Amino acid sequence: MATTQRVVVDPITRIEGHLRIEAETDVDGRILKAYSAGTMVRGIEIILRGRDPRDAWAFAQRICGVCTLVHGVASVRSVEDALHRAIPGYALPPNAELIRNLMIAAQHVHDHVMHFYHLHALDWVDVVSALKADPRAASTLAQSISDYSRSSPGYFADVQRKVKTFVEQGQLGIFANGYWGHPAYKLPPEANLMALAHYLDALAWQREVVKLHAIFGGRNPHPNFVVGGVPSAISVFPTEGRGKGPHYRGGQDATAVNMVGLQTVQTVIRQMREFVDQVYLPDTLAIARYYKDWAGRGEGLGNFLSFGDLPSKGFWDTDSYFIPRGVILDRDLTRVHPIDLDDDKEIQEFVSHSWYRYEGGDAQGLHPFKGETALNYTGPKPPYEQLDVAQKYSWMKSPRWKGKSMEVGPLARVLVMVAKGDKQAKELVDRALKTLDLPVTALYSTLGRTAARTLESKILADAMQGWFDQLMANIKAGDLRTFNEKYWDPSTWPAHMQGVGLMEAPRGGLAHWIVVDDGRISNYQAVVPSTWNAGPRDAAGQPGAYEAALQHNHTMLDPKQPIEILRTIHSFDPCIACAVHVVDPDGEELVQVKVK
Ligand code: NFE
Ligand code: MG
């Protein structure tokens, strides 16, 4: 009789996803080993070669439709960094930086709310149980935790009626395929109903808050960017807009930010803060109360990396970052290690367990400036019955910092903020732990990862107001500059240059590395948050962050309904389109959860 069994979840849904998890468990369902495989490859790094670096952002941004702007920002920053290295004093106008900060922070808050309600909540919230709730009890509960205006018994009765109609007609739609009734669901029916109502509200809220991107970047998803600033020309007139108005400034006038637009931005910031304060934060704490066992599960690597972001004195003044840069090792918050981007021993990518081959052999790690991406591996690949984990088993590479696996994302950022003495971050973390009566070690867990995302949303939504006020002050003082036109022309560039565009994307530290020769891209490497987290083992056998987290204290109640795996993997907010960005033409999609 077999002593272990293998549970395969492929694909893990409710993400942008081509992610396969295989877990080896003992007969009691306890996970002994876990393997994470990216099963798709799209080749964006390859198609960027030979192109104009000023166009790269538009291609790179198509890596993902979830974190819709981050690859655009990282890409223009990579070119700007190359220019900054080559041309002393190269800088962006302050307004460009403020507008980028607003767009980046808006992306985080939007993405985090969407992740919590639409991608992660149903791991914790039982939709079918919500139908049994007493709307008056849901109203009492909601009013006890928040001042949110939509909390009357009638409101909850309406939501219940709406969802009941779907269920009775067999049209669960967005709620199909849940493990409803699974014993791992612990919320009382009224809490399920409250969360379900907020799931629907968050959909409507999203539609409003994307306007910020549309105003500054012309559209969402995939707002526009430009090397040297932002493509939004500011107009001090109320409604002057698109097209060739009196302030038309050539191609840069893709959108004009007028006073009506800026008022809408102010409204969006208010809507973001209200939803985070009145809905997202209280819901996170209310739901977490019932899942405190998940504060002792999914601990993961204990190593955290943040590139930092949101500068106030320019991208190159890392001390001016609102989210600081640094590395935490072994959960030691007394020390934040610096990151040297140019030391080729620090950041490296390994392919010993990835479906690639390095020209100089697969045992080595390559620094991204010298990184290689080629569809040159000819050994066994998908489709597969079972991953050959002793060999190569993922389209993702394995990024490492000084040879170590790192977790990136909201938890890493919040920990680096706390370790660096950020007051608001520390207060929020302390208050959350106190409210839940949990020790500090609870942060290093599936629950901690999810809670950190909420706390970070609060921190960022609040900070947006400051950048907006500064932008308005600059405009009132007559500074309308949003674009550095100097050095736009590649004939002003050196023959060879290279740079790295770093940012904090919602899922973690993101880096685009560019090498430019004679005005054309000769190498482009994206080292992406979900690659750090979801990548496979490296040459030394060290697991990636997902793998490590699943190997910590998970026992499945029913391996045919592996909700425990979903909870921990979703706590990272995976996005595999980002992580692999190279589609396998022969790949067969296995859409079933399989238990062997
Ligand atoms: Ni496709 Fe992405 C974010 C990036 S994931 S969502 O956030 O970069 O790694
Ligand atoms: Mg890459």
- Cα distance between residue 108 and residue 520, in whole Å: 32
Provide the CB-side half-sphere exposure for 374 (13 A, CA): 11
> Is 97 within any annotated ligand binding site?
no
- The two beta strands, 4-9 and 19-26, are antiparallel
- Cα distance between residue 481 and residue 97, in whole Å: 11
Q: 51 Cβ partners below 8 Å, 6+ apart? A: 59, 520, 521
- Cα distance between residue 13 and residue 569, in whole Å: 11
The pair of structure tokens assigned to 435 is: 């409210």
In 3-state terms, what secondary structure has residue 167?
helix
Beta-carbon count within 10 A of 432 CB: 21
Whole-number pLDDT of residue 232? 84
Assigned CATH class of 92-297? mainly alpha
Whole-number pLDDT of residue 16? 65
3-class secondary structure for 185-212?
CCCCHHHHHHHHHHHHHHHHHHHHHCHH
Task: Give the total residue count for the chain.
Answer: 596
Residue 244's identity, in one-letter code, is K
- Catalytic one of 84, 306, 457, 575: 575
Nearest Cα neighbor of 511 from 359, 325, 360, 355 is 325
Return the best residue to mutate from 408, 411, 510 for the ligand 1 pocket (most ligand atoms within 8 A of CB): 510
Give per-residue pLDDT as tens, 515-546. 999 999 999 999 999 999 999 999 999 999 99
Does 397 contact ligand 1 (Cβ within 6 A)? no
- Cα distance between residue 329 and residue 334, in whole Å: 10
- Cα distance between residue 468 and residue 269, in whole Å: 9
The pair of structure tokens assigned to 225 is: 């960017």
- CATH code linked to domain 1-55+299-444+484-596: 1.10.645.10
- Catalytic one of 129, 232, 530, 571: 530
Helices vs strands, H then E, count in the chain:
18, 13
Whole-number pLDDT of residue 586? 40
* E strands, 343-417, in order: 347-350, 398-401
- Catalytic one of 62, 71, 213, 567: 71
Q: Which ligand is nearest to the CA of 507?
A: 1
- Cα distance between residue 428 and residue 233, in whole Å: 37
Does 505 contact ligand 1 (Cβ within 6 A)? yes
For residue 530, the ligand 1 atom closest to its alpha carbon is 9
- Cα distance between residue 193 and residue 187, in whole Å: 10
Return the best residue to mutate from 70, 77, 573 for the ligand 1 pocket (most ligand atoms within 8 A of CB): 70
Residues of the chain with pLDDT under 70: 1-2, 15-17, 172-173, 238-256, 580-596
The pair of structure tokens assigned to 354 is: 């990835």
Nearest Cα neighbor of 53 from 473, 364, 487, 470 is 487
Beta-carbon count within 10 A of 591 CB: 8
Nearest Cα neighbor of 249 from 268, 270, 226 is 226
- The two beta strands, 255-257 and 232-234, are parallel
Give per-residue pLDDT as tens, 549-593. 999 999 999 989 999 999 999 999 998 878 764 433 343 332 334
- The two beta strands, 593-595 and 326-328, are unpaired
The pair of structure tokens assigned to 235 is: 């107009």
- Cα distance between residue 69 and residue 253, in whole Å: 19
> Is 367 within any annotated ligand binding site?
no
Whole-number pLDDT of residue 309? 98
180 contacts 126 by C-beta, under 8 angstroms = yes
The angle, 0 to 180 degrees and rounded to 10, between the axes of the packed helices 281-288 and 135-145 is: 110
User: Among positive and negative, which fits the CA dihedral 415, 419, 422, 426?
Assistant: positive
- Catalytic one of 507, 537, 554, 570: 507
Q: 349 Cβ partners below 8 Å, 6+ apart? A: 365, 366, 368, 371, 397, 398, 399, 400, 525, 527, 531
Whole-number pLDDT of residue 584? 37
The pair of structure tokens assigned to 11 is: 């694909």
Task: Give the Å distance between the CA of 336 and the centre of ligand 1.
Answer: 24
Whole-number pLDDT of residue 571? 98
- Cα distance between residue 44 and residue 288, in whole Å: 39
> Is 581 within any annotated ligand binding site?
yes
pTM of structure: 0.94
> Where are the domain boundaries for CATH 1.10.645.10 in the chain?
1-55+299-444+484-596, 92-297
- Cα distance between residue 226 and residue 257, in whole Å: 15
Give the residue whose CA is nearest to atom 4 of ligand 1: 578
Nearest Cα neighbor of 529 from 24, 70, 159 is 70
φ, ψ for residue 384 (rounded to 5)?
Answer: -145, 155
Q: Tell me 277's DSSP state.
A: I
Nearest Cα neighbor of 413 from 340, 335, 325 is 325
The angle, 0 to 180 degrees and rounded to 10, between the axes of the packed helices 135-145 and 153-168 is: 130
The pair of structure tokens assigned to 178 is: 């849940």
> Hunting for tokens 């392919």 — which residue is that?
351
Query: Is residue 335 annotated as a catalytic residue, yes or no?
Result: no
